Amino acid sequence: MDISRRNLMNATAGVAAGAMAAAPVPARSAPLTSTLGRDATQSGVRPNSPDDQTRALQRAINESANAQMPLALPPGIYRTGALKLPNGAQLVGVRGATVLQFTGGSSLIGSEGASSIALTGLSLDGAGIKLAERRGLVHFQNGLDVRVQDCDIVGSGGYGVWFESIAGEVSGNTIRKTANTAFTSFDALGLLVAQNTIQDASDNGIEILRHTTGDDGTIVVNNRIDDIKAGPGGSGQHGNAINAFRAGNVIVSGNRIRNCDYSAVRGNSASNIQITGNSVSNVREVALYSEFAFEGAVIANNTVDICAVGVSVANFNEGGRMVTVHGNVIRNILPKRPIGTAPDDDAGIGIVVEADAAVTGNVIENAPSFGIMAGWGKYLRDVTITGNVVRNAFVGIGVSVLPGAGTALVSNNLISGSRGSAIVGLDHAKTATGDLGKEGSSRFPQIVLGLNALR
């Protein structure tokens, strides 16, 4: 048989055509909810109904948890009051399309003592309905393996999300327009707070708190936090993007923080806190703070643009000590703090430290008062200030020289464009000497001056 190229092509085309003719019609895709879990509408839940869906939703939640299946909520608006999650309950929606609209109650979604629970892909609308004090729109207490992921939480009349004694994860969420703090954790048991977007909170952005001082270990990474207001007022307990209080071994890293009434990151009595690699702009008090009774802090490789003080490591009088402040870029420092802070808390300073501190490799530019300041009255001990660049500060470096103040080493720094003096002795925040960079520090043996470049 003569098999030509043309015959072969015709035969191949015929086989393909036959195959296409014989191919079955593709089956219709299964509904999205069937792939996610038990369909809530099978339990009488009606999306987009004007009627309250609380009873039907609670029944569906209980049935799916008993069946050890997620409850899938199809797209639509569900008007509901307070819902309680039992052990194993998991609610899954279509992000941006499945909306639970709060009609009132203690919280929109809550649990106490439940573990292995999850919210995923839901829009939770608090409708601005006022909540009781210390209540979140999402409110979970005493649970393990608790997850809130890929949800949009908006308009809480109290806190956005409140965790108490919880181990789990809060990630990929948007939390917006909360009357109090967007996310609060008390007494965490092992918690990750990651890749959330937090906007327009009227207290703090993220709070990591403990009732008594102790190990916490929460990891707060790669969040975007904007527009945090000090709604209740105060002198610094509100208006912060991230606030750790009494919580030890907290890691705060890689966050983008913008436009806060007070601090970007504030550690209060938080030992071994790590504040690293954050990008901060337009905060109106201390940008990065470690204060009061703590031991151990690392503040490294952050960028800060516009603040009243770049870094403050304070309260040696309360036991605050032991820190490295390294590799930070701090610039455009404001001359005043917000109204309501302590009257002797001066601003316009790049870095302030007091005890057992190494300040190395930082770059500071445009400080109306001091580039770097060491000590507060007699509260100064074992501080080294080396290898820093200070540009366009009124005074480059100031060191306390009052009786009782301890030792400070100032060496290998470059101080350029100081409008006042390069290196001075201090009485608290006031200059008490001439320019020690020119005069030397022989009158103050506790100040060890090495080679510094003064321009």
DSSP assignment of 374-412: E-BTTB-EEEEEES-EEEEEEEEEEEE-STT---EEEES
Question: What is the average pLDDT across 178-187?
Answer: 98
* DSSP annotation of 153: E
pLDDT at 9 over 60: no
Which residues pair with residue 376 across a beta bridge? Answer: 379
Is 54 strand, coil or helix? helix
Q: Residue 454 has which token pair? A: 């003064």
Mean of pLDDT values over 101-121: 98
For residue 411, the model assigns a pLDDT of 97
pLDDT tens-digit readout, 317-331? 999 999 999 999 999
Structure-token pair, residue 287: 């940008």
Query: Under DSSP, is residue 340 helix (H, G, I), strand (E, B) or coil?
Result: coil
Strand partners, 231: none
- Quickly count: other Cβ atoms within 10 Å of residue 319's Cβ: 13
Is pLDDT of 28 > 50?
no
Hey, what amino acid is at 333? I
Structure tokens at 7: 């015959």
Q: How confident is the model at residue 270, as a pLDDT?
A: 98
Q: Share the mean pLDDT of the chain.
A: 92
Whether 26 shows a pLDDT value over 70: the answer reads no
Match 């952005």 to its residue by tokens.
205
- How far CA 273 is from CA of 110, 126, 219, in Å, comes to 30, 33, 10
**Across 162-189, average pLDDT:** 98
Report the pLDDT value the prediction gives residue 233, as an integer from 0 to 100.
Answer: 84
Q: What is the pLDDT of residues 246-273, one digit of tens each?
A: 999 999 999 999 999 999 999 999 999 9
Please determine, for residue 201, whether its predicted confidence score (pLDDT) is greater than 60.
yes
Tens of pLDDT, residues 267-315: 999 999 999 999 999 999 999 999 999 999 999 999 999 999 999 999 9
What is the pLDDT averaged over residues 360-378? 97
